[in-house]
Amino acid sequence: MSTQVPEQVEDESASETVSTGKQKRDAKKRERAERVQEQREVEAAEKARTADDTYHLKVFRYDPEVPEKQEPRFDDFYVPYKQGMTILDALMWARDHYDSSLTFRHSCRQAICGSDALFVNGSQRLGCKTQLSDLSEPVRVEPLPHADVVKDLVVDMEHFYDQMEAVEPYFQTNSLPDGELEEQRQTRENREKVKMSTRCIWCSACMSSCNIAAGDNEYLGPAAINKAYRFAMDEREGEDMKQRRLEILEQEHGVWRCQTQFSCTEVCPKDIPLTEHIQELKREAIKNNLKFW
Amino acid sequence: MSQSYNRGLIEDFSRWREFSAGMWAWIFHKFTGWVLVGYLFTHIAVLSTALSGATEYTTTIQGLESLLIVRILEVGLLAVAVFHILNGLRLLFVDLGVGLEAQDKSFYASLILTGVIVVASVPTFLAGVTI
Amino acid sequence: MAERYTSFKPGGRRWLWQRLTAAFLVVVLAFHFFLLHFLNHADEVTFALSQARMESLTYFSLMILFLVTATFHGVNGVYNALVNQGLSGTRKTAVKVTLGFASLLLIVQGVRTALAWAGGVPI
Amino acid sequence: MYEHDVIVVGAGGAGLRAAIAADEEGADVAIVSKLHPVRSHTGAAEGGINAALREADSWEDHAYDTMKGSDYLADAPAAETLCKDSPKETIKLEHWGMAFSRDDDGRVSQRPFGGLSFPRTTYAGAETGHQLLHTMYEQLVKRGIKVYDEWHVTRLAVSDEEQPEDRTCHGIVAYDVQTGQVEGFRARNGVILATGGLGQVYDHTTNAVANTGDGVAMAYRAGAPMEDMEFIQFHPTTLPSTGVLITEGVRGEGGILYNEDGERFMFEYGYANNLGELASRDVVSRAELTEVNEGRGIEDEYVHLDMRHLGEERIIDRLENIIHLSEDFEGVNPLEAPMPVKPGQHYAMGGIETDENGETCIAGLYAAGECACASVHGGNRLGGNALPELIVFGKRAGHHAAGKDMKEAEITTGKVGDYETAEIESPVELGESGIGEDVVADGGAAADSGTATTGSDLVQRAVEDERQTIDHLLEKDDGIQHAEIRERVQKSMTQNVNVFREEDGLKQALRDIREARELYQDVFVGDKSRTFNTDLLQTLETRNILDIAEAITLGALARNEFRGAHWRKEYQERRDEKWLKHTLLSWNDGRPELWYKPVILEGENKTYEPKIRSY
Ligand SMILES: Cc1cc2nc3c(=O)[nH]c(=O)nc-3n(C[C@H](O)[C@H](O)[C@H](O)COP(=O)(O)OP(=O)(O)OC[C@H]3O[C@@H](n4cnc5c(N)ncnc54)[C@H](O)[C@@H]3O)c2cc1C
Ligand code: HEM
Ligand code: SF4
Ligand code: F3S
Ligand code: FES
């Protein structure tokens, strides 16, 4: 292979046998360097406040245990902007450089784990999927509305999970192929039909945006209904299963509660046409019942 | 759960600023619907003066109709009704799964159309009012 | 399936009726408005005119139907909105009863008025 | 204290499959995970699951590809188990309703993937991992398996016999993120670690923030060796600001890499005169970094991946997803401008040493998934071989832990049989810094289990130790913050133990790690709250990052050859006569101990003779 060897950026590590004495000296040197570094950071923060290429964030703070944070407040952070910076990047920067107690959920940084749905400048968005440059300043970051705040930007997700799990969110069929190496057949069209509904990442943005879900705690909510749609429309489950699924959806607090506000569809980071799915289920339910009249 | 901060009503009431088209449509539809039922009840109440006799009825109605304020309220009622009808149609289409992508546009269209119809009917509605 | 089986819960039925009545109301309400505000101007409304219209069976039954559908649609809409706000338990039952009673009252009063105009059921 | 038959730590693909398997065997099983299951990083996998499903294909071919891909550092019994079980397990996912992409005849689709002799990568769009994770979580809900989510596992409760091979794992200690309580979980039968990757050892990775290698580090400190840690896969096309993966498909479709001067460097500088951009992952990664190091990188950091010439239509048709990724995560519209890309850490081939039943050398302790090393991937993992690993070995570990009779493993664990010990040459002292000072030695055999007689006692002891550690961290008012320590290590690892490795750099990394360890003595947690204290959790994770970084670097420094993903400047060849062996690192009283065990190349029907790995 003709790969070229990279030029090492040389520093004091050139000599191999490092005496402990030298180590100590190095450590001292580094310590000094560190202090200088710290100094620089403070200055940088100061400069950041005044510079153009910083973003001004106003972040909701609350902690039931910390006296100063028991009464919720907004903290200001000035974060130096880098090309491609997202809300999540900015929050992480603020946490690592200004206040290590700034708390928010996050993991994948790529819009797939669904941890970081936040209320940013008045709408539900995924922190990691929202470019700072698309927002006007000051960027207001709050926890999801209509959910109990645990701390700072972290909300209690239990209710959302309960709703998700209330719709028998698992595949059920009575007719599996016999062979353990034989798959069930499914047409491309049918897969296409359920495709969007399978993309949900359980971020709860939709649920948080829905006024009905805010008012009626028992309402299944758009995400759970979508989850049920994913199975009800999957031809592999068969007709009698579909019947059963529709029965679940038809409860008083099922699909009928939806008032087609569309906000769920608008905020869904995975572009799932939630309202459309809910409406289709309402029609399916009606059709299904007309058969029995 | 118990220790978490409850944002309660403050949260709900300040959220309208962040509403999007579909949510406004919902609010307006709700509001207009309620006004309409309210009106339905008053309307029947007023009409039932007919039970006490023909003259009674005619004087009540004409008395009311001659008041500017009533006429203006009627224009308001018209606006409310027209919006409720138009948005109601929009909702019926949404229920049929038609035009979901244009839901925001159809809402704006309902608003504009309501405005136009109401403005156009003002002369008829205010005709013959004695000030 | 031997027995007549239906899983149709009131939620769904009410939802459907809300749509059906809405569709009906579009037509009748438009007609109503048009008739009473554009063809006959508001300030000209008199007992006699109403009486004249009511005496026709078609108009009379249309108006009764109008009343009933509008009442159902409106009251059911209100009830629905309250359920959407998370109304439940005894309060829900209380609201249901009150609304039901109010609608009944409204319809009875409306029908009585219509009868007064028509002077009995027009044949 | 909570008590279950089997405790699974982690709820990614491997953890979920293990729990379901244990449940199938009738065990009372619970999952303890620091993230809610659907948040696990398995969801990020895009490409697919390798499984020999078709008549024209066979598990033997798959095994051959895997062994070759591993550069002959995988153990044949493990690789063959993977390839034999994968079809059944993949179809099982289908039976559980997973939304695979479909062919016209309604069967699941398969596509070609790098290094495979048959298109056997079974996929669900470009979101296979997401579909797999959710399908499996659904099964968990169906079975009503208990999940303790947002419980951060901090240490294992293992008895403290002298030799790790004599020890037994009795349970775990976990920290409830919501309330700040430390609790013990006693496992009557066994503990299965499925904590996933360790990408956070590097500052640029496709891995999640939660992938801090906790399980590997915990097991290591409890005595289970780490195997082949130096083998880290780097992906050549990740977005610079976040590490988000841009699939190989872009180059597959004809995307071109340019340097700052607009040169098509793969050809112009002769990195790969035949295949150009389509050369294997390691070759392209090295080429990109060379460009940057020689001053031809853009902003001294990345190169450009351009696909504009493919035309909007074709891009939207086949690579639509990439437009969104690039816009959302880099703010660049790839239809209008080239995408910035650079190599990023992607996968750890090494991990906790296990056999093909997922068992470690400690009784009652299992591992599966990316945190384990059965050794299926050896020196280099083939794309599409990690997801089958989750379902195959997750299930086996689950069954075994639940007490199912299984075929005796062929792979040995721990220091038995044919192993050799080795000296470590390091410029600095290694391992734990300042034990015996006021920081309670973290992990390891229950620090002093002298009085503990039963399993529960042992777990209780471990809980108390952990409470002390955490109280200590929270009480300290002053010191250095974990973020700074973490950043130093990550930077140094990316600088020195990256795609390119040379002796000086590796030694520098060891020095940096040492320094970081010393700084860690002074670590303090700024946030004093017991509620959702991520500051504290990250401080605990940083400790794991330190141990793992050290292990990776040590293994790399010791391995004087170029094999698979491990490239050494001084040794440009694979040296089979000396290095057909696994690197193992054991934690011995706070110091790492290096040893080796031979690779098993004898399969069921044949022996895999090392050949030159060329494609
Ligand atoms: C971007 C990307 C694309 C990929 N594409 C493919 C592909 O196409 N094909 C393929 O085969 N492979 C692919 N891989 C590799 C594969 O996805 C991973 O190796 C695999 O998903 C790891 O699964 P896991 O179950 O071991 O771990 P994870 O899914 O990472 O799960 C780890 C679990 O452990 C828990 N955990 C961790 N630490 C603790 C702790 N201290 N206490 C409690 N719980 C803890 C976490 O909460 C999480 O639930 C890809 C990887 C990445 C990053
Ligand atoms: C003329 C045509 C009408 C149409 C097309 C129409 C349509 C609708 C529709 C579709 C809804 C259901 C909204 C939903 O559930 O999402 C609704 C609700 C409602 N309607 Fe009508 N309607 C009409 C007339 C009326 C009249 C005359 C009244 C008054 C009596 C009325 C009162 C209501 C009320 C109170 C609601 C409930 C609003 C809420 O959600 O709070 N509507 N209408
Ligand atoms: S439907 Fe969309 S918004 Fe709702 S939870 Fe799923 S991904 Fe999030
Ligand atoms: S926001 Fe709510 S009302 Fe229906 S369309 Fe969406 S669920
Ligand atoms: S961090 Fe995973 S969705 Fe944003």
For B75-126, what is each residue's pLDDT tens digit? 899 999 999 999 999 999 999 988 888 888 999 999 999 999 999 888 877 7
Confidence of residue A185 (pLDDT cuts 50, 70, 90): very high
Nearest-CA residue of chain A relative to B9? A146
D141 vs A113: CB contact, 8 Å cut-off? no
D-proximal residues of A, 258-287, CB under 8 Å: none
Q: 10 Å Cβ neighbour count for C12? A: 23
* D245 in the same domain as D173: no
Chosen for mutation from A263, A268, A271, A280 (greatest number of chain B CBs closer than 10 Å) is: A263
* pLDDT tens digits, D284-305: 898 999 999 899 999 989 999 9
Where are the strands (E) in A123-255, listed by range? 123-126, 139-142, 149-151, 154-155
Peptide bond into A138 cis (omega under 30): yes
Q: Indicate the burial class of A152 (C-beta count within 10 angstroms; 0-12, 13-18, 19 or more).
A: buried
pLDDT for D100:
95
List CB contacts (< 8 A) between B48 and chain C: 109-110, 112-113
DSSP per residue, B104-119: HHHHHHHHHHHHHHHH
**Do A246 and A285 contact (CB within 8 A), yes or no?**
yes
Given a cut of 90, is residue D485 above it in pLDDT?
yes
Please give the average per-residue pLDDT across C49-73, as a whole number: 90
Q: What is the ipTM, given to two decimal places?
A: 0.91
Cβ–ligand 1 distance for D444 under 6 Å, the answer no
Q: Which residue in D357, D461, D458, D412 sits closest to D595, CA to CA?
A: D412
Which of the listed residues D343, D371, D388 is the one where a domain comes to its end? D343
Residue A216 and residue A139 in one domain: no
pLDDT range class, residue D441, cuts 50, 70, 90: very low
| In-domain check, residue A105 | yes
Is D538:A95 a contact under the CB 8 Å cutoff? no
CA–CA gap between residue A135 and residue A55 (Å, rounded): 10
Does the CB atom of residue A215 touch ligand 4 within 6 A? Answer: no
D488 touches chain A (CB under 8 A): no
Residue A192 lies in a domain: yes
How much distance in Å is there from the Cα of A70 to the middle of ligand 4? 33
Checking if the pLDDT of C52 tops 80, the result is yes
Q: What domain count does chain D have?
A: 2
Give the lowest-confidence range in A206-215, A223-232, C79-88, D353-362. Answer: C79-88
* C43/B62 Cβ within 8 A: yes
Residue C43, pLDDT score: 63
Q: Please tell me the number of the ligand nearest to residue B32's CA.
A: 2
pLDDT at D211: 97
Q: Which residue has the higher pLDDT, B26 or C44?
A: B26
Does position A17 have pLDDT exceeding 50, yes or no?
A: no
Contacts of D388 (CB under 8 A, 6+ apart): D49, D50, D51, D82, D85, D86, D89, D90
Domain that holds residue A173: 158-292
Distance CA D126, CA D252 (A): 15
- Residue D303 near residue D291 (C-beta atoms within 8 A): yes
Q: Taking CA atoms, what residue in A is nearest to D509?
A: A13
Residue D113 sits in the same domain as residue D195: yes
How far does residue C6's CA lie from ligand 2's centre (Å)? Answer: 27
Which residue's C-alpha comes closest to atom 3 of ligand 3? A268
- Is B10 domain-assigned? no
In a domain, residue B115? The reply is yes
Residue B34: inside a domain? yes
pLDDT for residue C58 is more than 80: yes
Distance from the Cα of C3 to chain B's closest Cα (Å) equals 31
Give the end of a domain, one of A126, A155, A184: A155
Contact D532, D522 (CB under 8 A): no
| Cα D150–Cα D156–Cα D158 angle in degrees, nearest 5 | 160
Q: Given A5, A16, A85, which is nearest D569 (Cβ)? A: A5
* For range D261-267, the mean pLDDT: 92
Of 3.40.50, 2.70.50, 1.10.10, 1.20.1300, the CATH number of C14-118 is 1.20.1300
**Which ligand has its closest atom nearest to the C-alpha of A275?**
4
Those of residues 400-459 in D touching chain A at CB distance below 8 A are: 427-428
- Rounded percentage of chain D residues whose pLDDT exceeds 70: 96
Residue A33 pLDDT more than 60?
A: no
Touching check for B2 and chain A: CB below 8 Å? no
CA D465 to CA D447: how far, in whole Å?
8
A272 lines ligand 3 (CB under 6 A): yes
Q: How far lies B81's CA from each of B85, B91, B109, D287, D564, in Å?
A: 6, 15, 15, 70, 74
Nearest-CA distance B43 → chain A (Å): 28
CA of D497 to the centre of ligand 1 (A): 22
Indicate whether A134 and A187 sit together in one domain: no
Give the per-residue pLDDT at D534.
96
**Does residue A126 line the site of ligand 5, with CB under 6 A?**
yes
D495 and A CB contact within 8 Å: yes
Residue D515: pLDDT band with limits 50, 70, 90:
very high
What CATH code is carried by the domain that includes residue A167? 1.10.1060.10
Query: Looking at the structure, do residues A205 and A128 belong to the same domain, yes or no?
Result: no
Cβ of D390 below 6 Å from ligand 1: yes
H/E stretch holding D157 reads strand D151-158
The reported pLDDT for the residue numbered D533 is 95
Residue B16 lies in a domain: no
pLDDT of residue D36: 97
Q: Does A215 lie in the same domain as A129?
A: no
Same domain? For A243 and A163 the reply is: yes
Distance D317 CA to ligand 3 centre (A): 25
Quote the pLDDT of residue B71: 85
Q: What would the mean pLDDT of A13-29 be, rounded to a whole number?
A: 47
Q: Measured between CA atoms, how close is B49 to chain A, in angstroms?
A: 38
What's the B34 CA to ligand 4 centre distance in angstroms?
20
Residue type, D581: K
Asked if residue D389 has pLDDT above 50, the reply is yes
**H helical segments located in C57-88:** 57-84
How many distinct structural domains can be found in chain B?
A: 1
Domain limit, last residue, from A94, A120, A155: A155
Please tell me the predicted confidence (pLDDT) of residue A2: 37
**Residues A172, A112 within the same domain:** no
pLDDT recorded at residue A70:
87
Collect all residues with Cβ–Cβ distance below 8 Å to B65 and sequence separation of at least 6: B71, B129, C42, C43, C45
Top pLDDT among B4 and D315 is at: D315
Q: What is the mean pLDDT of residues D395-405?
A: 95
What are the residue ranges spanned by the domains of chain C? 14-118
Domain check: are A82 and A110 in the same one? yes
Most confident of A222-226, B41-45, C79-83, D562-566: A222-226
Percent of chain A with pLDDT over 90: 62
Of A243, A252, A293, the CB nearest to C11: A252
Index of the ligand 2 atom closest to the CA of residue B34: 35
The CATH number covering residue D303 comes to 3.90.700.10
What integer is the mean pLDDT of D203-213? 95
- Which residue, among A55, A82, A113, A182, would best test binding to D if mutated, counting the most D CBs under 10 Å from its CB? A113
CATH number at residue D12: 3.50.50.60
Same domain, A69 and A106: yes
Interval between CA A90 and ligand 5 midpoint (Å):
14
Instruction: Using the predicted structure, report yes or no on whether residue B131 has a pLDDT greater than 80.
Output: no
Partner-chain contact A128 D105, CB within 8 Å: no
We report the CATH number of the domain holding residue B100 as 1.20.1300.10
Asked if B91's CB is within 8 angstroms of A262's CB, the reply is no
Q: What is the 3-state secondary structure (H, E, C) of D368-383?
A: CHHHEECCCCCCCCCC
Q: Which of A122, A140, A155 is the last residue of a domain?
A: A155
Angle at D428 between CA D422 and CA D431, to 5 degrees: 70
Q: CA D30: distance to chain centroid?
A: 22
Average pLDDT over residues A246-264: 90
Residue A239 has pLDDT above 80, yes or no: yes
pLDDT given at position C5: 43
Is A18 part of any domain?
Answer: no
pLDDT-derived band at D199 (thresholds 50, 70, 90) equals: very high
The residue behind tokens 């999540």 is A88
**Mean confidence (pLDDT) of chain D:** 92
Q: What are the pLDDT digits (tens) for D212-261?
A: 999 999 999 999 999 999 999 999 999 998 889 988 778 877 889 999 99
Same domain flag for A225 and A167: yes
Mean pLDDT calculated for residue range C8-15: 71
Query: Does a structural domain hold residue B44?
Result: yes
Per-residue model confidence as pLDDT tens digits over A79-108: 999 888 999 999 999 999 999 999 999 999
Residue C9 pLDDT more than 70? no
Residue range D18-34: mean pLDDT, rounded: 97
User: Does pLDDT of A47 surpass 70?
Assistant: no
In terms of domains, do D142 and D11 share one? Answer: yes
D420 and D527 fall within a common domain? yes
Strands D581-588 vs D226-227: parallel, antiparallel or unpaired: antiparallel
**Structure token digits, residue D508:** 């520098």
pLDDT mean across residues, chain B: 83
Interface test with C, best of B9, B40, B124 (most C CBs within 10 A): B40
Determine, yes or no, domain membership for A132.
Answer: yes
Q: Which of D343, D359, D384 is the last residue of a domain?
A: D343
Residue D452's pLDDT band, with cuts at 50, 70 and 90, is low
Q: Is A189 on the interface with D (CB under 8 A)?
A: no
Is D49:D388 a contact under the CB 8 Å cutoff? yes
CA of residue D148 to ligand 5 center, whole Å: 21
Q: Whose CA is nearest to atom 43 of ligand 2?
A: B88
Query: How close, in Å, is residue B1 to chain A by CA atoms?
Result: 7
DSSP bridge pairs for D593: D586
Q: Which residues pair with D345 in a beta bridge?
A: D205, D234
Instruction: Give the tokens for residue D93.
Output: 């996912």
Closest chain A CA to residue D99 = A191
Structure-token pair, residue A141: 């970051």
C73 lines ligand 2 (CB under 6 A): yes
Q: Which of C33, C71, C81 sits opposite B81 (nearest CB)?
A: C33
> Are A280 and A174 contained in the same domain?
yes
Check residue A199 and give its pLDDT: 95
Ligand 2 atom nearest to CA at C28: 1
Number of domains in chain A: 2
Mean per-residue pLDDT for A236-257? 90
Q: Is the CB of A128 under 6 A from ligand 5?
A: yes
Alpha-carbon gap, residue A110 to A91, rounded angstroms: 15
Q: How far apart are CA D356 and CA D400, in angstroms?
A: 11
Ligand whose nearest atom lies closest to the CA of D383: 1
Same domain, D72 and D199: yes
List of chain C residues whose C-beta atoms are within 8 Å of the C-beta of residue B66: 43
Whether C109 contacts chain B with CB within 8 A: yes
Q: State the pTM of this model.
A: 0.90
Q: Which residues of D are catalytic?
A: 281
Average pLDDT of the residues of chain A: 85
Q: What does the pLDDT read at residue A36?
A: 55
Same domain, A131 and A172: no
Work out the average pLDDT over C99-119: 90
Picking from D328, D343, D358, the residue at the C-terminal end of a domain is D343
When pLDDT is averaged across residues D479-495 and rounded to a whole number, the result is 94
Query: Residue D598 — pLDDT band, cuts 50, 70, 90?
Result: very high
**Beta strand extents in A127-269 (DSSP E only):** 139-142, 149-151, 154-155
Q: Between B47 and D129, whose confidence is greater?
A: D129
Same domain assignment for residues A75 and A189: no
Mean pLDDT of C32-38: 79
The structure tokens listed for D557 are 């420094």
Using CA atoms, how far apart are residues A125 and B20, in angstroms rounded to an integer? 14
- CA-CA distance, D507 to D570, in Å (whole number)? 14
Expressed as residue numbers, the domain containing D278 is: 236-343
> Rounded to whole angstroms, how far apart are CA atoms D53 and D51?
6
Q: Are residues D359 and D331 in the same domain?
A: no
- Tell me what pLDDT residue D39 has: 97
Scanning the structure block, which residue is given the tokens 């570990």?
A: D397
Among all ligands shown, which has an atom nearest to the Cα of C23? 2
CA gyration radius for chain B?
A: 20
User: Pairing relation of β-strands A117-120 and A139-142?
Assistant: antiparallel
Check residue D96 and give its pLDDT: 97
Identify which has the larger pLDDT, C78 or B12.
C78
Lowest average pLDDT, out of B63-72, C30-39, D87-96, D512-521, goes to C30-39
**Is C41 in CB contact (< 8 Å) with chain B?**
yes
